[in-house]
Structure 1
Amino acid sequence: MAVGSMIGLGLSRPCRRLFIALCLLPALALVAGCALPEAPAPAGIEDPFEERNRRVHAANKGIDRAVLRPVARAYGAVVPGVAQTGLRNVANTLDLPGTVVNNLLQLDLPSAARNSARFTINATLGIGGLFDPAGEMGLAEADTDFGETLHVWGVPEGAYVELPVFGPSNKRDALGTVVDIVLNPLGPMLSDETRRVVTAIEVGEVVDTRNRYAVMIDGVLYESADSYAQSRLLYLQNRRFTLHTDIATPDEDPMALDTEGF
């Protein structure tokens, strides 16, 4: 659960940083032959690929330990808070066109209109998204992704999977992640130079998210008796809660659940 340590627990939208995966996938070879313990999945969790998932989880955890966590710590220590906020604002603004597309595919016209207005205001008055005047006007983002679009269309979540680098997912959301990589209509409009800048911003957003949620992520990865089981539980509970299909009570925030002992 490296890059996916934030994304997979529901703390960010599905990752669209495919180039990171292409750079770091060779690390999977380090654990490809490792035999890891397997325990029956709890009720309500479909995990027929657990043996393979645990191998991927071990690789993702190694990437986090060796690369992402130390970089995020340095980022948090060196980069001023106002610059961190500006980075998040710009990344959010760049993601909004793709979010609008998903709003429309879900026939959620009010959310599409709100996100379109948010993008227009922040891209102009917010100086390319550096600031968030739309938020100050009360135009909060109606966040969504293609995994949720598939849910709205009636596609079941399918078995749990842990993706290399991207982290916890399920069959439906894994497909959604692939689609979200290319769904943003802003992409084809950018020059090569601008794409490089956008890529740098997306890398920065990953590091920023890892830094902001360091306490929770470190607790899951390095303080749990079974980091795989706990990340699986948190991902599924959070995702089902978000989509209103949670196996817990509908009003119960899964990020506040006591998962000690996993």
Structure 2
Amino acid sequence: MKPVILLTGLCVLALAGCATKPVQPEAVPVDVAPVEALQPTAKPAELSAAEQLSSGQSTTIETSQGSIEITPTVVDMAERDNAEAVAEDSAAQYHDPLQGWNRAMFGFNHQAYTYALFPLVKGYEYVLPAAVRSKVGNAFDNIREPLSLLNNLAAGEVKDAGTNLGRFLINSTVGLLGLFDPATAWFELPAAKQSLADTLASYSVGPGPYLVLPILGQNNVRGSTSVVSEVLLDPLRHVSSPPDTYYLQGVDAIDSFTDRVRVYETLYQQAEDPYLYFRNQFIQGVKRDDAFNQQPK
């Protein structure tokens, strides 16, 4: 009978433990910018990657190329001197005058990406190993150094312009036409990229309305000037002739998408309204960069 008595006692203890109300951990307030609110009862492990990024948390996305960790920098989208604007939802705070066009282009781009561009990118990744793709990316970055040099001069960044010149000369010779980056590895000359949009921002030119461009994706009016300038001054047009120029530009476009395809696919699937999600993340990035560039150097 003793085993029966012992077993009965264990059962009573187990039932008593199950009936005990668990102690709830103390809620810790988190001060984040006014982005889309999350349910307070949601646990971090239950949040999607899009929700974690929207709440200012870091997230990790698993891809066939490995884990990609994304750490957002959240900037308040509201004007802090406008109490009413601060209290509103972030999606309502931003005035989107081109939303009709933008949503149409966003939908068109998603279809083009899904059925045309992304299959090409994945085929490109399948054919070329990561080590080779990195060298291709280095070569295209090196070709753009003269554009960065001109834009840095226009912005009055003489030191950065000198860095562009040094990097271009070193990587074009010692680096075998830019396939390697000895300027960074051996001479400690880090990249000093500068676009026309960056130059305009340095002169306090505002970004203008959010704008989604066909195929090229999200941008704004200020950023679109970089698209125009890079088309007109594309160095590939000066080192090759059609149709080779078009082939090189195509490879450049596909290569530039290799690091973004799977992140885009994951976040698009998880976002409640993909257009608003990507729009707000883009605007956050622009505000972050403008705030950084306005800091005294």
TM-score (norm 1): 0.71
What's the counterpart of residue 289 of structure 2?
Answer: 242
How well do the aligned residues superpose, as a CA RMSD in angstroms?
Answer: 2.3
Q: Could you tell me which of 150, 155, 164 is aligned with 1:106?
A: 155
2:279 matched residue in structure 1 = 232
Q: Which residue of 1 aligns with 2:211?
A: 161
Question: How far is 1:157 from its partner?
Answer: 1.1
Structure 2 residue ranges without an equivalent (≥5): 1-88
Question: How many percent identity over aligned positions?
Answer: 24
Q: 2:238 & 2:248 partners in 1: Cα distance? A: 17
Q: Answer yes or no: is 1:75 the counterpart of 2:124.
A: yes
Q: 1:177 to 1:93 in 2, by over 3 A?
A: same
AA aligned opposite 1:127:
L
Q: What amino acid is aligned across from residue 67 of structure 1 in structure 2? A: A
Q: Larger relative contact order (C-alpha < 8 A, sep ≥ 6)?
A: 1
Q: For residue 121 of structure 1, what is the aligned residue in structure 2?
A: 170
What count of residue pairs does the alignment treat as equivalent? 205
Partners of 2:115 and 2:195 in 1: CA distance? 30
1:217 deviation in Å?
1.1
- What does 1:160-179 correspond to in 2, within 5 Å? 160-179=210-229
Counterparts of 1:77-226 in structure 2 under 5 Å?
77-137=126-186, 138-184=188-234, 186=235, 189-192=238-241, 196-226=243-273
Shift of 1:46: 3.0
* Mapped contact 1:61–1:221 kept (Cα < 8 A): no
Counterpart CA distance in 2 for 1:74 and 1:191 is: 25
Judged with a 3 Å threshold, the aligned counterparts in structure 2 of structure 1 residues 245 and 110 are, in CA distance, closer, same or farther, namely closer
Give 1:255's aligned residue.
none
Gaps of 5+ in 1: 1-39, 251-262
Which residue of structure 1 lines up, in the alignment, with residue 113 of structure 2?
A: 64
Q: Distance in 1 between matches of 2:289 and 2:216?
A: 19
For residue 177 of structure 1, what is the amino acid of its counterpart? V
Q: Please identify runs of 4+ aligned residues in structure 1 that moved more than 4 A.
A: 195-198
Contact 1:157–1:172 under 8 Å retained in 2? yes
CA distance in structure 2 between the partners assigned to 1:196 and 1:49 by the alignment: 35
Q: 1-side partners of 2:237 and 2:257: how far apart?
A: 29
Q: TM-score when scaled to structure 2?
A: 0.63
1:157-193 CA-partner distances (Å, limit 9, x unpaired): 1111111111111111112321232235x4564342x
1:157 and 1:171 in contact (8 A); partners too: yes
**Secondary structure of residue in 1 paired with 2:211:** strand
